[in-house]
């Protein structure tokens, strides 16, 4: 197979299991020739992440909770020691309190709002700052977003606000990092049954059904579809694109009713 990303080094943040969107992206980048590094959140996930990462020949597998500045510093120190520089950063991380993903948005607490925005939006800024120092030859930074940033989606609540902030962060980061030839994008994926999606969201199947019935392509999307776009965005073919929010949702976002 053609390996357009041969020799590139990619850091993947947010792998939890083999249904994660990060797994679809990791596989696509691996297929196209990238060397990979991964984080894991806590010992429980380490047990799942390590064998998956090793199956793709990962060169770094290290702990990172993005809400902790010390962990961010030590994680990127490890990357610096082992790799020196790298080319691609994938941020596939979101978290809000379960209580805040249901009921009325107006009831979101200050603490719940801070947590969701910290883990799901500010973390992109924090890791991009570290990545910039290790991307002297330019690079690509990708994050994952959802349509709930643009329109009100039942129960998405504070995560919608966090994704709106994340999408805006992408534009400000793209402006700051562009002169260093670092490109920044958000991929807005349609609903996919992952841990973060199925995790107690009672009507999640309804969202899959709606995309299957109403989207122009009448099909749901997969982590592999997201992986294919991620790989393209890292190619030289995309070298004059930055700051975009690109939908991979079978066109669902264009439908008004
Ligand atoms: P997932 O549960 O597989 O991935 C979410 C990841 O976030 C997990 O690996 C988890 O460990 C990590 N995470 C949470 N808090 C963290 C912290 N403090 N520090 C480090 N890591 C932390 O689910 P997914 O659906 O693959 O989610 C990945 C991204 O895709 C998220 O940003 C999500 O919002 C986005 N997204 C998902 C869908 C969907 O329908 N599944 C659609 C559009 C966008
Ligand atoms: C999440 C909640 C409500 C509706 C939702 C979702 N729809 C979709 C998602 C329609 C597609 C999944 N998504 C896009 C997310 O960003 C999920 C983020 C998330 C999920 C959980 C579940 C478990 C938990 N905290 C979470 N924090 C963020 O405790």
Domain spans of the chain, in order of start = 9-250
With a 6 Å cutoff on the Cβ, whether 223 touches ligand 1 is no
234 backbone dihedrals φ, ψ, rounded to 5° = -85, -15
Contact 8, 31 (CB under 8 A): no
146 CB within 6 A, ligand 1: yes
Q: Which CATH superfamily is domain 9-250 in?
A: NAD(P)-binding Rossmann-like Domain (3.40.50.720)
Output the pLDDT for position 201: 80
Per-residue pLDDT of the chain (257 residues; tens, 9 = 90+): 789 999 999 999 999 999 999 999 999 999 999 999 999 999 999 999 999 999 999 999 999 999 999 999 999 999 999 999 999 999 999 999 999 999 999 999 999 999 999 999 999 999 999 999 999 999 999 999 999 999 999 999 999 999 999 999 999 999 999 999 999 999 999 999 999 998 778 789 999 999 999 999 999 999 999 999 999 999 999 999 999 999 999 999 999 99
pTM across the whole model: 0.99
So what's the pLDDT on residue 175?
99
Q: Is the CB of 24 under 6 A from ligand 1?
A: no
**Pairwise CA distance, residues 8 & 230, whole Å:** 14
Q: Give the separation between CA 229 and CA 215, rounded to whole angstroms.
A: 19
Residue where the block lists tokens 């690509």: 140
Q: Which helix (H) or strand (E) is 248 found in, with range?
A: strand 245-248
Q: What is the pLDDT of residue 203?
A: 87
Question: Which ligand lies nearest to the CA atom of residue 20 in the structure?
Answer: 1
Question: What are the backbone dihedrals phi and psi of residue 30, each rounded to the nearest 5 degrees, phi first?
Answer: -65, -45
């Amino acid at each position: 197979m053609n390996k357009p990303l041969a020799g590139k080094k990619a850091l993947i943040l947010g792998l939890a299991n083999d249904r994660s969107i990060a797994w679809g992206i990791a596989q696509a980048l691996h297929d196209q020739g990238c060397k990979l590094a991964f984080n894991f959140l806590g010992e429980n996930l380490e047990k799942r992440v390590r064998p998956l990462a090793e199956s793709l020949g990962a060169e770094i597998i290290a702990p990172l909770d993005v809400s902790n500045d010390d962990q961010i510093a030590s994680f990127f120190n490890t990357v610096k020691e082992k790799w020196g520089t790298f080319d691609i950063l994938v941020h596939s991380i979101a978290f809000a309190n379960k209580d805040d993903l249901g009921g009325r948005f107006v009831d979101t607490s200050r603490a719940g709002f801070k947590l969701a925005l910290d883990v799901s939006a500010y973390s992109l800024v924090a890791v991009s700052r570290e990545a910039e120092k290790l991307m002297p030859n330019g690079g690509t930074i990708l994050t994952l977003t959802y349509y709930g940033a643009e329109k009100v989606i039942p129960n998405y609540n504070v995560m919608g606000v966090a994704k709106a902030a994340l999408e805006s962060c992408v534009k400000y980061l793209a402006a700051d990092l562009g002169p260093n030839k670092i490109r920044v994008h958000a991929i807005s994926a349609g609903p996919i049954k992952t841990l973060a999606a199925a995790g107690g969201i009672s009507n999640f199947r309804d969202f899959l059904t709606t995309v299957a019935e109403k989207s122009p392509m009448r099909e749901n999307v997969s982590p592999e579809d997201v992986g294919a776009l991620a790989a393209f965005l890292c190619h030289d073919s995309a070298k004059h694109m930055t700051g975009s929010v690109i939908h991979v949702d079978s066109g669902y976002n264009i439908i008004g009713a």
